[in-house]
Structure 1
Amino acid sequence: MSREIHSASRIIIATPRAIFRAHIDPEVLVKWRPPHGMEARLHEFSARPGGGYRMELTCADGGGKGKSTANSDIVRVRFAELIPDDRIVEEAAFESDDPANAGTMTLTTILAPVTGGTKVTVTAENVPASISEEDHRSGMESSLRNLALLLE
């Protein structure tokens, strides 16, 4: 099984504080985190180090190939680090019987102030073998685009 590192970044015209808050507000998180073509629903949420959430990502058109069900991914996320306005470290595991989806992926989001906004860089480590680098990067870029559209 390959355990890769994938990353994506984007400059968002918003403060690090606004971007950080978008990660820890459940009503806002479900609006931007799902990549294009997916919808999200939270089943639980606790915004504190050691807390986390359980999110179901469903293909909006009912099609697709899910990791947890025929057309959905269910992921359990633990906040390993929450450093306000600076860094968010999430440990994410898919609910799946397929060994290619097994393991805990670590998502590190770095918020770096730049002129006119914030550079947001997301790095995913220990990516499950079932997720190609191209698909994952596309999904992360889609989520960052959604976040920019929401906050800008």
Structure 2
Amino acid sequence: MTSTRVSGHVNAPRVAVYRALVDADAIAAWRVPDGMRSEVHEFDAREGGAFRISLHYDSPDAVGKSSAHTDTYHGHFVELVPNERVVEAIEFESDDPAVGGVMTMTTTLRESGDGTDVLIEHDGIPDAVNPADNETGTRMALAALAAWVESRS
């Protein structure tokens, strides 16, 4: 199991960025890598609240972790500190034990000038998930988060 850390800046206040972390419609719009689309099945944004999300590959040649062209994951919110931090426990739905195990994703928000610095840390990344791929997908999602929030601020 490995870890990754990805940081970026959003030109919007922390309150706007935090809202995008705990709103199902926002998550469906921005937390998806390029070449995929998101489907939010369940999303209860409170400590202990559950979520379940599928990421569907656009390319018919892509191989999913959960099914032929889909990565589905579920989990719960471990900690929600308004406008500061969101901690999620995440597990891929797969028959492959190398993809199994609980991964922790911590998103930390810090004021920076007129905007917000965002740090996304993944700990306990399953062995079958390439850390470089995780980092690339997280960078894509962070760029999409910035674009989504900035277009609404």
TM-score range, shorter chain: over 0.9
Structure 1 residue identity aligned to 2:112: V
The alpha carbon displacement at 1:37 in A equals: 0.8
Q: TM-score, normalised by structure 1?
A: 0.96
Q: How does 1:21-60 map to 2 (within 5 A)?
A: 21-60=19-58
* 1:118-129 correspondence runs (5 A): 118-129=116-127
C-alpha separation between the residues in 2 aligned to 1:113 and 1:16?
7
State the secondary structure of the residue aligned to 1:122: strand
TM normalised by structure 2 equals 0.95
Letter of the 2:48 counterpart: G
Which residue number corresponds to residue 144 of structure 2? 146
Partner of residue 97, structure 1: 95
Whole-Å separation in 1 of the counterparts to 2:73 and 2:20 = 18
Q: Which residue of 2 aligns with 1:107?
A: 105
Q: Does 1:84 align with 2:85?
A: no
Matched residue type, 2:55: L
Aligned to 2:65: 67
Q: Give the stretch that moved more between structures: 55-64 or 66-75.
A: 55-64
Q: Which runs of 5+ in 2 are unaligned?
A: none
CA RMSD of aligned residues (A): 0.8
Q: Which residue of 2 aligns with 1:11?
A: 9
Count of equivalent residues:
150
Separation in 2 of the partners of 1:59 and 1:120? 26
Instruction: Give the CA deviation at 1:7.
Output: 1.1
| Shift of residue 116, structure 1, vs aligned partner | 2.0
**Structure 1 moving runs of 4+ over 3 Å:** none
1:130 Cα deviation from its structure 2 partner: 1.1
Structure 1 spans left out of the alignment, 5+ residues:
none
Could you tell me how far 1:36 is from its partner in structure 2? 0.8
2:128 match: secondary structure: coil
